[in-house]
Structure 1
Amino acid sequence: MTSTIITLVRHGKVAGPAALYGRTDIALSAAGHNDLTHALNNLHMQTPIHHLISSPRLRCFQVAQEFSAQYKIPLHTEDNLQEMDFGIWDGIPFDELGDEWKNIEAFWESPHSMQPPEGESLTDFAARVIGSWESLINNNKSGHHAIICHGGVIRIIIAHILKLDWRNPALFKQLQIDYTSCTRIEIGNYEKAVPVIKWIGFCDLNTRP
């Protein structure tokens, strides 16, 4: 293989009501578990995976661990690829948030300027994700690396690669990263090669253009 291939895979649907799930260690639903397993199997059939990297959260790690054991693929967990910590909003169903809902709406309008109460700032979140990404691409050799992580993490990495402003709320409101979708990045094995995004958010690799 003449390049490094990195596929960012968002976890599947979780076993819980609609909410902001960041630090909350919720498991996948049965359908979410099956969908993520299917996505990884398809990915591996098209371009064999040499290394697995996973967020330590159960919704990512459980399937990653099973897949690693099945195919004898090395698995590394990366704490800094966890989702943003949404503080007191984290894991609370939207219909139970009451008066806090107006604050969540304000947060989505300007996530850089409003930090979730007792949670993580967007600046700190972006810094740890970008730091982890830079470490990964600087230290990994050629091959196909599959990273099982979260929607917010994938958006920050895309923005960083394209030199976009990760503080722009449109990144979170208008860029759809579906459950079990795959985003492909390739880096040539030559001096000063830059990451190239080949596709974003494909949910079924069998129908990929």
Structure 2
Amino acid sequence: MKSLTKSDVWLLRHGKTTGPAALNGQTDACVAPQTQTQITQVLARQNLPYRQVISSPLSRCLDLATRLTDDDKVMIQPDWKEMNFGDFDGVPFEQIPPERWAELEKFWENPVQYPLTGAETLAAFYQRVSACWTRFTGDLQTDTLVVTHGGVIRMILAQVLNLDWRNPALFTRLNIANQSLTHLEVVTGEYDFVTVKSVGVQLAK
């Protein structure tokens, strides 16, 4: 029988990006250095006992991750990048042509039925994230901090809570704010079990 291992996993969403409001999916938007410093200082005061740091390769996450541990100790996980929003990815809302707003509004109402032009489908996004989560928990041996994106955290929660990943409410009603922590307890052994300890707790300034 495989021995039981209990690990804490903290999912940290990156800070607010600079520039005009946009769907910054896989566009490599940046977070202001002073914001990254502030997040680092707050986490240091919390003294979370993580032993490893895993990060999305996008700089809004990776820059923060390298501030939280030695650069050469950050494990980069490409499958935990944000969803690719196709033609709308990284385009400021104020620059979206009026005739294309209807496409965006339909996507928010039902992202499965109305995918964005050129975008990753929600099904592909969920499959990418959930497969990565399964691999991650299968090898998990220690407390871990994952620096990633709001959409990724929502898809992980959908998997561990057995929620319908197609439900638009995961994006419109579940608040995973910038620089917030979601805490999971992962028990691995003959059977794996995940407990959600807290969701989207905003880091105090």
Provide the secondary structure at the position in 2 that maps to 1:4: strand
Q: Is the 8 A contact 2:137 2:188 kept in 1?
A: no
TM-score by length of 2: 0.91
Matches within 5 A, 1:110-189: 110-141=110-141, 143-189=142-188
Residues 88-127 of structure 1, C-alpha deviation per residue, up to 9 Å, x if partnerless? 1011111110222221111000011122111110011110
Provide the secondary structure at the position in 2 that maps to 1:191: coil
Which residue in the other structure is 1:54 paired with? 55
Distance 1:48 1:13, change over 3 A: same
One-letter identity of the residue aligned with 2:19? G
Q: Is the 8 A contact 1:8 1:147 kept in 2?
A: yes
Q: Is the 8 A contact 1:14 1:59 kept in 2?
A: yes
Which residue in the other structure is 1:198 paired with? 197
Distance 1:162 1:152, change over 3 A: same
Deviation at 1:176, TM superposition (A): 0.4
Q: Is the 8 A contact 1:24 1:90 kept in 2?
A: yes
Which residue in the other structure is 2:101 paired with? 101
Aligned equivalents of 1:39, 1:130: Cα separation in 2: 29
- The 4+ residue runs of structure 1 with deviation greater than 3 A are none
TM-score by length of 1: 0.90
Deviation at 1:144, TM superposition (A): 1.2
Q: Percent identity?
A: 35
Deviation at 1:48, TM superposition (A): 1.6
Q: Which moved more, 1:92-101 or 1:157-166?
A: 92-101
Aligned equivalents of 1:30, 1:65: Cα separation in 2: 12
Q: Is the 8 A contact 2:176 2:200 kept in 1?
A: yes
User: Which 5+ residue runs of structure 1 have no aligned equivalent?
Assistant: none
Aligned equivalents of 1:39, 1:152: Cα separation in 2: 23
- Paired residue total: 201
Matches within 5 A, 1:54-93: 54-69=55-70, 74-93=73-92
User: Which 5+ residue runs of structure 2 have no aligned equivalent?
Assistant: none
